[in-house]
Structure 1
């Protein structure tokens, strides 16, 4: 494996070149904004893809997550250092988090009203984490993940 070049180029400039190259390979011309997120120790890349946003996001964000992973790998290869990169298109991740918060709150309320556990299926690991965090302050319920791999699910249980 070739050694990465030492460069005085800013990390945001390096990342911008990588994103432009990747989008060019996909056949898209995009505008982007790259910001440093000191709270999450990450570089945030928000792409404005216009009508092509769905192509980049993919089914349930799978393509977006894959592109995010690829960007991270290319960045590490070019710079020699790992950096958390968060790729977003038109604030899709923020909207997705809001949707997950609503689902979590609704399931927690159902668990309390029915006094029965509520199960959420088909969540990615990051989505399960978001639900756990969203409900962590609620003293009337608990959350736990069960299962393995793609069969993993989250259960919201009322406390007695």
Structure 2
């Protein structure tokens, strides 16, 4: 599977960043309508991650929108990226967050990475982390990049891809 190029927030294919955020918001609203769910939609430029961040807030349907282990929110994100690509004619990095799920997920992944890195340092044995999405692996790679005693690599292909943490 080909990698999705980084999204730049400036002008591309005649679309300004504000036009892109408007298209993303309209598309997210239509998807939620088709799902039969109601949520407040906030779309902002995330310059740090060079992405468009879609925040969904729903008092009653947060669990439904997140899904088991974040499966629904990640699937919604994938569908949104594909539809937006069709509308814009280019790839756009879109991140979907429901409530504070993304923040909690990042904390959880960083704790998992810290534990695996500590085991790798202590035992000298590589530590493998399975069943992670590309974005989850990226969070761990970035988190452990600051540790000079640790090296991270993604191995495997497609759905079988996993992350390996090694002592340097």
TM-score range, shorter chain: 0.7 to 0.9
- Secondary structure in 2 matching 1:63: helix
- Note the 1:1-160 alignment, pairs <5 A: 10-159=19-168
Q: How many aligned positions are there?
A: 154
- Secondary structure in 2 matching 1:137: coil
For the pair shown, which has the larger CA radius of gyration, 1 or 2? 1
* 1:24-68 C-alpha deviation (Å, 9 max, x unpaired): 111111112111122333221100022312222222222212211
| Distance in 1 (alpha carbons) for counterparts of 2:154 and 2:72 | 24
Give the RMSD, CA atoms, in angstroms.
2.3
Q: Which runs of 4+ in 1 moved over 6 A?
A: 6-9
Q: Which runs of 5+ in 1 are unaligned?
A: 1-5
* C-alpha displacement of 1:17: 2.0
Q: What's the TM-score, normalizing by structure 1? A: 0.83
| Distance in 2 (alpha carbons) for counterparts of 1:11 and 1:148 | 32
